[in-house]
Copies of this chain bind each other. A is one copy, B any other.
């Protein structure tokens, strides 16, 4: 059977993966969650506070006029999903990883975190582990497969689920199968995904975000992005 255009199994659980968006009450996370939910994914909004997560999910469900999302504390969200998307400020990155580590073994982590040091939003900051996603992989160990994606996408463009984002999503990771899963997520959110190489290359992708924020500031816009050119040459 089909539900919202997506093939689902007879017991009504989608054949496509379930997603927990840890930090899903934030601007980037909630915009992604909305797009995936509208495309038939079972999406759980995660937050440090279950109340806050439930409230955020309820607000989005009201906006979308349907029961698309649920909200849970981060630990429960991770336990109840196959793919974990991490979208938190860098200052909460380490502590959030500590919270979810017991529940994430064997799962995929898509790290959206950008290692910005406020108030310098427009200057590249290279963290100790070179990239937030490399720090995630090092901390969580080999039983968790980490990919990096979505760092360069403006939440302003993302938050309108029908809007054209006009930004490619560079996907980094050391596991080809995981990158293919992420590619599916990128396309489900309405964007073009591009395999950008091993997780080590997330240094470039994460560092590009402060550059984009600098360009936004200089041009008094809110949604600069990037496109890879030459693919059709």
Q: How far is the CA of A167 from the CA of B212 in the complex (A)?
A: 16
* A39 CB to nearest B CB, Å: 23
Contact indicator per residue, chain A 190-233, by CB within 8 Å of chain B (1) or not (0): 00001111101101110110111011001101111111111101
CB < 8 Å neighbour of A210 from B201, B208, B223, B233: B201
Q: Which residues of B contact A205 (CB under 8 A)?
A: 211
Known: A123-B197, A201-B214. A226 touches B224 (CB 8 A): no
Give CA–CA (A8, B211) in the complex, Å: 37
Please tell me if the beta carbons of A224 and B230 are within 8 angstroms of each other in the complex: yes
Say yes or no: A197 contacts B210, CB within 8 Å.
yes
Does the CB pair B227–A226 fall under 8 Å?
Answer: yes
Q: Is A170 an interface residue (CB 8 A)?
A: yes
| Bound CA span A196–B167, Å | 17
Q: Which residues of B contact A219 (CB under 8 A)?
A: 231
Interface centre among A124, A157, A195, A210, by most chain B C-beta atoms within 10 angstroms, is A124
Which chain B residues lie closer than 8 Å to A195 at the CB level? 214-215, 218
Chain B nearest CB: distance from A149 CB in Å? 13
Contact of A197 with B211 at beta-carbon distance under 8 Å, contacts A126-B126, A126-B130, A167-B229 already known? yes
Residue of chain B at shortest CB distance from A206: B204
111-166 of chain A: CB within 8 A of chain B: 122-124, 126, 130, 154, 157, 166
B224 touches A228 (CB 8 A): yes
> In the complex, what residues of B have CB within 8 A of residue A231's CB?
215, 219, 221, 224
Chain A, 171-200, contact with B by CB distance < 8 Å: what is the 0/1 string?
A: 000000000000000000000001111101
* Cβ–Cβ contact A225 & B224, under 8 A: no
User: Assuming the A-B contacts A123-B197, A195-B218, A215-B196, are A227 and B224 also in contact, with contact meaning beta carbons closer than 8 angstroms in the complex?
Assistant: no
Interface residues in chain A, defined as those with a beta carbon under 8 Å from any beta carbon in chain B: 122-124, 126, 130, 154, 157, 166-167, 170, 194-198, 200-201, 203-205, 207-208, 210-212, 214-215, 218-219, 221-231, 233
14 of the cross-chain contacts (CB-CB < 8 Å) are A126-B130, A154-B230, A157-B230, A195-B214, A195-B218, A203-B207, A204-B208, A204-B210, A204-B211, A215-B231, A221-B233, A225-B228, A227-B227, A227-B229
